[in-house]
Structure 1
Amino acid sequence: MELARDINQEPKSNKTSVRKSDLKVGLLFLAPSILLFSVFLFYPLVRTVYYSFHITDITGEQSVYVGLENYLFLFQDPVFYESLKATFLFVLYTVPTSIVAALFLALLSNEKLKGIGFFRVIFSSTMGISAAASAVIWLFLFHPSVGFFNNVLNSLNLPVVQWLINPDWALLSVSITTIWMNLGFSFLILLGGLQNIDQTLYESAAIDGAGYFTRLWRITLPSLSPTLFFITTITLINAFQSFGQIDILTGGGPNDATNLLVYSIYKEAFVNYHFGTASAQAIVLFVFIFVLTILQFKFAERKVHYQ
């Protein structure tokens, strides 16, 4: 009886030891990543939360504990609300437009046309250009006197536009630049998704007499929905974190028209040296992105068709 009990217990102890061994090996392989995340992500996040409850001196060291006063100050500051408004308008301008434009170019590039490889390279080329270089290119295009866009308007006898100087046009101009910058990455991902769709689905639909738009609506978009969901999530997060093009093109102006939340954090911390309120803004931005991402996974993912 005891011998049978020992035989039954031996496999369980072996499984437990194997699991512990696998756990140790797994943690060993994950150790470099855990270390990097701890140094560059978790520790800065904890310090940001800590600083948001303090007033700091010019060196960035906390001097006075103020609790929630930094947050209360933010939500009583009209400049902060203008920054929030500009941020959400910027996201509204850039995210849907860049996804629709990239999808259109991907659908066009997925067709079997002569010389389409050249256009695929052109459409994806913005991915290889840095934010600073892209902003400088568009800075010349938006120039009020020698810029390409105003030269076109002049040739059509239309009034020129102060693209980056007029508060009514500045945010739209920065949004156009951002759409162009994001186009290459979104295009490549969507084109890869299109090329992974089973072609037999299109052949069967064509035999049944389905037209192009019917195939697009019934086959392409449902099959592409996981890729679209991924692109939407990444583009949304990147839009909230945009900084380089704003710093070069407008510097948050004119009249704070392009003072997005990330740029407001930068100015508050490294121009005004108010690290406490800058940290509070960073936490607010983190909460906004976190909540929007959760809502997107909760509601938008329901319409994703995984094969």
Structure 2
Amino acid sequence: MNSYNKALTEGVNNIRTESISRSKRRELAIGYLFLWPTITLLSIFMFYPLLKTSYLSLFSTNIRGQTVAFIGIDNYTRLLGSADFYSSLLTTVLFTVYTVPTGIFLALLLAVLSHGKKRGMRGFQFVFCLPLAVSVGTASVIWTLILNPTVGIFNYALTQIGLQPVGWLIDADTALYAVSIATVWMNSGFLFIILLAGLQGIPDDLYEAATIDGAGPVRSFMNITIPLLSPTIFFVTIVSVIDAFQTFGQINIMTQGGPMGSTKVFVYALYQEAFRNFQYGPACARAIVLFVIILILTGIQFKIGEKKVHYQ
């Protein structure tokens, strides 16, 4: 009788285990089925181009982009030994330094000023979000007109206060600053929305408690707002750095890398190599190097910056 009960129990356990295993396999299959569209799109538009770029970077190509001969890492060695590589990289670093801290500071300032329940704040928030609705191409054309040395409003304002006009986009000393100003405005809408959302996630009770304890606006901002907003600031910093290193549209429209190469950022140099010089192998090598640089910078930011982030 005991052996019968034991066999029956084992049979029931086996059936239950098999049923659970079948259920898990079904859930796993359903999960992969839902992931399949995303995996397909990523494979077509991300993984395949990355593999193809890596492959072409090891070859010399003709003007059609067809491989001619395998040359190994020669494209990389020539790139790392060229002065143009370091010049474009330095320009990109300067452009990042000019735009990222300034853009985040401006967006944070606007978010703090418009964050509140006072009457009319919704209107200001709407206005500050507007740059997000303007494409890079349209914004670049607008800023090219604004910065025009003869009919631009910037120079008109300078002449009205007795100053000399400035060749914003035609002077090598000011062109990168001019493009940086335009870029800060272009990115301000996105950064404003993200930082405003972060501010709205901070409980009002903390500010009320700080006020009761005698803390002023500055102290509350430094001890409450900044620590609790640090994850959002960390996120926008990483995104802004990546975006700055991939900048192309406004450079192509406003200056085309000039004057005298003063605004020739890394991606614009890549564009010239591929679509003007038809050197697809070196261009692909440059793209892979850019990918590695961004990967390293992002890793450094996570290694250093995340230590200063305070999560609730």
- Work out whether 1:125 is the aligned partner of 2:130: yes
Q: SS of 1:227's equivalent?
A: helix
Q: Which residue of the partner structure matches residue 216 of structure 1?
A: 221
Show structure 1 runs of 5+ residues with no match. none
Within a 5 Å distance, the mapping from 1:191-230 to structure 2 comes to 191-230=196-235
Q: TM-score, normalised by structure 2?
A: 0.95
1:235 to 236, 240, 244: 240
Q: Which residue of the partner structure matches residue 18 of structure 2?
A: 13
2:267 to 262, 282, 293: 262
- Work out whether 1:111 is the aligned partner of 2:116: yes
Q: Which residue of the partner structure matches residue 284 of structure 1?
A: 289
**Cα deviation per residue 1:208-237 (whole Å; 9 max; x = unaligned)?**
111111111111111111211111111111
**Paired residues, number:** 307
Within a 5 Å distance, the mapping from 1:165-204 to structure 2 comes to 165-204=170-209
Counterpart residue type for residue 284 of structure 1:
V
Q: Which residue of the partner structure matches residue 33 of structure 2?
A: 28
Distance, in Å, in 1 between the alignment partners of 2:225 and 2:270 is 41
Q: Which residue of the partner structure matches residue 135 of structure 1?
A: 140
Counterpart residue type for residue 311 of structure 2:
Y
Cα 1:201–1:11 shift into 2, 3 Å = farther
Distance, in Å, in 1 between the alignment partners of 2:15 and 2:214 is 64
Distance, in Å, in 2 between the alignment partners of 1:158 and 1:66 is 56
Counterpart residue type for residue 236 of structure 1:
V
Distance, in Å, in 1 between the alignment partners of 2:297 and 2:11 is 54
Q: Which residue of the partner structure matches residue 3 of structure 2?
A: none
Show structure 2 runs of 5+ residues with no match. 1-5
Distance, in Å, in 2 between the alignment partners of 1:6 and 1:259 is 74
Q: SS of 1:168's equivalent?
A: coil
Q: Which residue of the partner structure matches residue 102 of structure 2?
A: 97
- Work out whether 1:54 is the aligned partner of 2:54: no
Distance, in Å, in 2 between the alignment partners of 1:282 and 1:24 is 36
1:241 deviates by 1.1
1:9 deviates by 4.2
Distance, in Å, in 2 between the alignment partners of 1:277 and 1:97 is 33
Q: SS of 1:114's equivalent?
A: coil
Between 1:100-109 and 1:208-217, the stretch displaced more is 208-217
Q: TM-score, normalised by structure 1?
A: 0.97
Counterpart residue type for residue 310 of structure 2:
H
Q: SS of 2:69's equivalent?
A: strand
Distance, in Å, in 1 between the alignment partners of 2:15 and 2:262 is 71
1:161 deviates by 1.2
Distance, in Å, in 2 between the alignment partners of 1:49 and 1:67 is 11
Distance, in Å, in 1 between the alignment partners of 2:299 and 2:23 is 36
1:8 deviates by 4.0
Whichever of the two has the greater Rg, that structure is 2
Distance, in Å, in 2 between the alignment partners of 1:94 and 1:203 is 35
Distance, in Å, in 1 between the alignment partners of 2:16 and 2:309 is 42
Within a 5 Å distance, the mapping from 1:59-74 to structure 2 comes to 59-74=64-79
1:10 deviates by 4.2
Q: SS of 1:252's equivalent?
A: coil
**Cα deviation per residue 1:37-94 (whole Å; 9 max; x = unaligned)?**
1111100000000010011100111111110100011111101110000011111111
1:180 deviates by 0.4
Give the share of equivalent positions with the same residue, in percent.
47
Distance, in Å, in 2 between the alignment partners of 1:50 and 1:24 is 33
Distance, in Å, in 2 between the alignment partners of 1:108 and 1:214 is 16
Distance, in Å, in 2 between the alignment partners of 1:278 and 1:291 is 20
Distance, in Å, in 1 between the alignment partners of 2:179 and 2:250 is 7
1:27 deviates by 0.7
1:305 to 298, 302, 310: 310
**Cα deviation per residue 1:99-134 (whole Å; 9 max; x = unaligned)?**
010000000000333322221111110000000010
Q: Which residue of the partner structure matches residue 9 of structure 2?
A: 4
Cα 1:295–1:15 shift into 2, 3 Å = farther
Distance, in Å, in 2 between the alignment partners of 1:228 and 1:144 is 36
Distance, in Å, in 2 between the alignment partners of 1:79 and 1:280 is 14
Counterpart residue type for residue 72 of structure 1:
T
